[in-house]
Amino acid sequence: MVKYGLNLDKYAEIIIRYGLNVQRGQEVVISSPVNAYEFVRVITKKAYELCSGKVTVFYDDDEILRSNFLFDSEDVIKQVPEYVKAQKKYIVDSKACYLGIISDDPCVFEGVDAKRIAERQKAIVKACPEYRKALDNNETRWCLVAYPEKHWAETAFKGEKDPMTLLGSKISQAMWLDCEDVEQKWKNHVENLKRRSNILNEAEIVKFHYKNSLGTDFEISMPDKYIFSGASDAGSLDGVDFIANMPTQEVFSSPDKNTAQGKLVASLPLVRNGVIIDKFYFVFDKGKVVDFGAEKGEDTLREILNADEGMKRLGEIALVGYNSPIRQTGTLFYETLFDENASCHFALGKSFSSAYQGGTKMSKEELKKVGLNDSVNHVDFMVGTSDLEIIATKKDGSKMVIFKDGDWAF
């Protein structure tokens, strides 16, 4: 079945076989906006055909959620219904693979009080700790993918005659669905990102220095037992590999939360809670954001930072070549799943426990002691440019060029 320029059968097979890596008889749980129902049907059928034991689907609708935000009382906004808690618990208890489908209007929550959105997110995280822990520690294999949505397409391809097909074709390009041997393409890609991860892991890097003409001049240190990963992770309970984001171009880890120093200037817009944040920056001192600004969406940016103390510190460092396949599509997607894979980026908020040796078996307090950050959220923002230079300082004091002219040096 082809829809909006996407071969949905091929897309679904890559998700089941390589994204989630579903094992025979294992359950799949899908969370999706209602508008992506055709894609969900294809994925469900393909999962059963290939190996899945059961497929369960949960639908949501951001237009209804917008009405909730506009009209519900503050007390109701902070309440987490029992059925939501039960859904999250079910994903953990069933040991299912979890698939999240992104198919949203990037501007759906414009005009909504950013504080109300932040309060709801915080309430859900606090009400469902087992679910958050399962994803953070890779106890549940999970994957995020995308499907075209009308308003999203019109935002990304304003004024074009057929924006839905254009968006679908760009998603197809980013996923290599047009390749004759798409499975081999993904295998080769995963191996290449693992190769770069291994180089960084063996280098004993102490500190990174970022600099470009946009205004970024920034240093950050790494924990002593850091782990960089690329493309695939292994489930911490079963050891089975999965790809959490499709597409993916990043090699990532978690930095020492107490060491960020200097200025980071965003190179691409950020869409958060249905609001576009553009032309923004952060200034860090001793690991913490001490100044920030944005030409657009500053109130939403403020609410991101004010969610808790952890949101003022960094939880992720991710390296992506400027000439990545996502960048080569020539598209600003207004969706982090894609835009973060077109640019080096950082994330405010929660660190990855899997980014530290033995981290998935450590307590929150133990992770904090070694420099990993904790927060209710994790928000990526892009800093990569065509002239970005990244120089690492190694444990022996020598320098190592990581990025030159915006791209990998190895």
pLDDT band with cut points at 50, 70 and 90 for residue 260: very high
Q: What is the pLDDT of residue 42?
A: 98
CATH 3.40.1830.10 maps onto the chain at 2-174
Q: In sequence order, what DSSP letters do the residues of 165-218 get, joined into one string?
A: HHHHHHHHHHTTTTSTTHHHHHHHHHHHHHHHHHHHHHTTEEEEEEE-TTS-EE
- In this prediction, residue 232 carries a pLDDT of 85
For 19-31, what is the mean pLDDT?
96
Query: Both tokens of residue 201?
Result: 């892991």
CB 223 within 8 A of CB 254: yes
Residue 72, helix vs strand vs coil: coil
Segment 16-41 shows an average pLDDT of: 97
Interacting residues of 245 by C-beta distance below 8 A, sequence separation 6+: 143, 144, 337, 341
Q: Residues with Cβ < 8 Å from 313, sequence gap 6 or more?
A: 257, 258, 260, 287, 288, 289, 348, 349, 373, 375
Q: What is the pLDDT of residue 45?
A: 98
Packing angle, helices 114-127 and 62-71, rounded to 10: 110
State residue 97's pLDDT score. 96
* pLDDT at 73 (0 to 100): 97
Residue 273 pLDDT > 90, yes or no?
Answer: no
Specify whether domain 2-174 bears CATH 3.40.1830.10: yes
Predicted confidence (pLDDT) per residue in 308-367, tens digit: 999 999 999 999 999 999 999 999 999 999 999 999 999 999 999 999 999 999 999 999
SS3 state of residue 388: coil
Task: Give the phi and the psi of residue 342 in degrees, each rounded to 5.
Answer: -115, 5
For 224, 291, 295, the CA distances from 266, given in Å and listed in that order, are 28, 14, 11
DSSP E strand boundaries for 80-197: 97-102, 142-146
Q: How far is Cα 407 from Cα 400, in angstroms, rounded to an integer?
A: 14
Q: How many CB atoms lie within 10 A of CB 50?
A: 13
**Residue 238 confidence (pLDDT):** 87
Report d(CA 183, CA 204) in Å as an integer: 33
Share of the chain above pLDDT 90, in %: 94
Q: Evaluate if residue 236 carries a pLDDT over 80.
A: no
**CA angle, residues 91, 96, 100, in degrees to nearest 5:** 70
Q: Peptide bond before 247: cis, by omega within 30 degrees of 0? A: yes
- pLDDT for 197-233, tens place per residue? 999 999 999 999 999 999 999 999 999 999 999 988 8
Of 144, 62, 151, nearest in space to 380 by CA: 144
Q: Output the pLDDT for position 4.
A: 97
Task: Report which residue type is found at 383.
Answer: V
- Give which of 176, 110, 114, 92 is closest to 302, Cα–Cα: 114
Residue type, 277: I
pLDDT of residue 233: 83
pLDDT band at 381 (very low <50, low <70, confident <90, very high): very high
Query: pLDDT for 125-162, tens place per residue?
Result: 999 999 988 998 889 999 999 999 999 999 999 999 99
Contact status, residue 74 vs residue 119, Cβ threshold 8 Å:
yes
